[in-house]
Structure 1
Amino acid sequence: MRQDDIYIKKIDWLTISIYALLVVIGWFNIYAAVYDEQAAKSIFDFSINSGKQLAWIGTALLLITIIMVADYRIFENLSWILYIILLVLLIVTPIFGKEVKGQVLTIGFGSFRIQPSEFAKFATALALAKFMERPSLDLSQFKHQLQVLTIIFIPIILIMLQPDTGTAMVYTAFFIMLYREGMPQRYYVLALTFITVSLLALGVENNLYIVIGVVALVVILILMGKKKISRIIGLSLLGLIIIGYTYSLDYVVSKLPEHQQNRIMVLFNPDLDPLGVGWNVTQSKIAIGSGGFLGKGYLEGTQTKFDFVPEQHTDFIFCTLGEEFGWIGSLVVIFLFCALLIRLVFLAERQKTRFSRVYGYSVISILFFHFMINIAMTIGLFPVVGIPLPFFSYGGSSLWSFTILLFIFIKLDSHRIQLLGRMK
């Protein structure tokens, strides 16, 4: 049997099939999101978003071909170079990029523009994999923790300068991968506590309730027999820190731009401004809810036809699916995403080198974060932060970056035996 035949058989065609299904379903939903019954155009018409997306899909196929025929060693050898190139692009974007709605996210020439922050995801994943493949690396050591976090937070800082809070948040998904690779659990407990207290502080109108709750917790623990002075002092200090944090958080939020403050407030009170800042989420939930169990039918969505939901072909593409295909259609797409993530976990665990495993879990982390946050955003469980649904939302940079991210891992997986041979 020829070497090429062996290589083709080792490609994970199941993952590729799920990818193809998501891209095709997303393409049909992009057409539905811009469909105008009065002036209906073909789905292949390049003057509308579905036609443009088809062009992006075609170029994505070209990228896939390049990745799959390239030498698998190139991704490891060029990891740091790609990371540095993307950092440079992130630096020059606010300087030479085009400003849209107060953000400078894209650079390019004429109508061709790319969003470097999207492509920096796979570059950061490769850099982390390259750095963490060292046998001496131990994430229980603070020095190594600091080095890994530096790789992650440099692009976060540069993206915040654009400013693009939503995309910057995506890079925190790498902490999922770090947990698999041995990052101490105490950091995750601390982060969960931080998030919980933040939600309480933002969601409760009167912080006095939080103060009472913390004091009550300390008193209860003391009465339960925790008589050691050190524990009592420790709990008291923790209570004071939480109280201080809740009030300082109010101050920080008050300094955010008004539209970001409103998005946070709408999360806890959707009826705060239903005709203003809460319009997107309110209309998205109406669209999804109106779809019922089986949906209204393809191209029959009323919320879609009359443009009630802004950005429906990008960030809110999921509500088009919910309205026209109902609970069943939404469940099918959620199942496909879950199947993809579970399959990728299986692939990551069977890797023979740490480089491939770290990169694989980075891919899983990023896709999981986008999938969860985007859907939570469209149903009002998370503030609107402008995060696209992978392989589904309209946009060339988004589709290209997710395609490159995924297929580099598929390429590495198909050569996992050869990668092991290089390590010996």
Structure 2
Amino acid sequence: MAKRNIFRGLAAVLALGMCMTGLAGCGSEKRADGKTEIEVVSYKPEAVKAFEKIEKRFNETHDDIHLTISSPNEAMTILKTRFIREDYPDIIAIGGDINYSNFLDADLFEDISGLDEVQTVKQAYLDMDKELEFIPKDGTYALPYVANAAGILYNKDLFEENGWKVPTTWQEFTTLCDEIKQSGTLPLYLGFKDTWTCLAPWNALAVGLTDSDTCNQVNMGNTTFSDTYGPVAEKMRALLDYAEKNPYAYGYNDACTAFARGESAMYPIGSYAIPQIKSVNPDMNIGSFTFPANDEESDNVLNSGIDLQFSVMKACKNKEAAYEVLKYLYDDETIQIYLDDQGGIACKDGDFAIPETLKDMRPYIENNRMADYQDHHYPSEMSVDAMIQTFLLDTSDNAQEKFLKKFDSDWKRYNRDLIRKVQDYQKEQGDEQ
């Protein structure tokens, strides 16, 4: 509750501050050399080398703008503190998640729908940002840059040696798991001691078994999680039959290490785990396929989310200079610098190489058969990861019913103000028609 109240206080201060100051702040001032300073704050400290290279190349090729990109640790905390002080950067680089939703709801971002670059974004990622809006807004408020993908990593050499085929339906998947188990190999490694890892298969199942706007539909009062998440919970529990004994005794690092050493044929986790796995076994031949959650392959959806996107602050004093920075960032060569360093999937349409490890996901990526991580809509205070772990540990006959009932009640508890806002908006729209 405390964290929720803190952010509500932040939102209130932001709203009041912007009304009183006319969006004063923002550091785009002229430098001593006459150049306009544009500051970008990124939440990706692991990408600092890529951003240093991009910053250097930009400054070498622009006489009128100086670009500074910082990637501090605890960037979200720093940004929220700066916002309270009305010390706004010009552009922020964040993920497509609940933080983006909160900042957008506080009216911090400029509408960039008029930029040519927006027209080159894969539609699936524009749709994901739209679904992150608490209340529908006209316009575009972020430029999606790079995405990741989550499904099931698999040991390609083991698959080839044993003649195992990548499954495309739930039945094929469970049949494969049975076959692998009978061969004496562990089908899956889970590593659920770290509760956040429970969200990896949960999200990958949920995008195929529920609508992408499920959370918003719940907020509008059109459905409940008890009505929609049953199949997700059921298939989540089914994974335990094919995993290591007591998966709650092993964490993320343990699972990465075990998979790297060939102790399991598959690992239901996102592509973000590949560097960790490769640090243990650099030569491992890793593939990744979309979680086959459905009875028909055509119903499957790739779990892909926006890992990084850029938003121009409404308070930015030199927006034309900021737009010039976005134009440079969205140049194919610049995007490739980032991809070469960090990997991932370009959110921009174009001839960008898809990593070999994601080759099996290519048809989904190219055909926009993708949906965002459901947990990007979950409030952190709700601790859904711990809820899932508790559900899986519960062996009682009504464990699933209790879990889904708690999901509904906790959702109302932690989203009370948001639900009221959404339903008030609905009522207003109805009154206007």
TM-score by length of 1: 0.25
Quick check: which one's helix share is greater? 1
Radius of gyration: which is bigger?
Answer: 1
Quick check: which one's strand share is greater? 2
TM-score by length of 2: 0.25
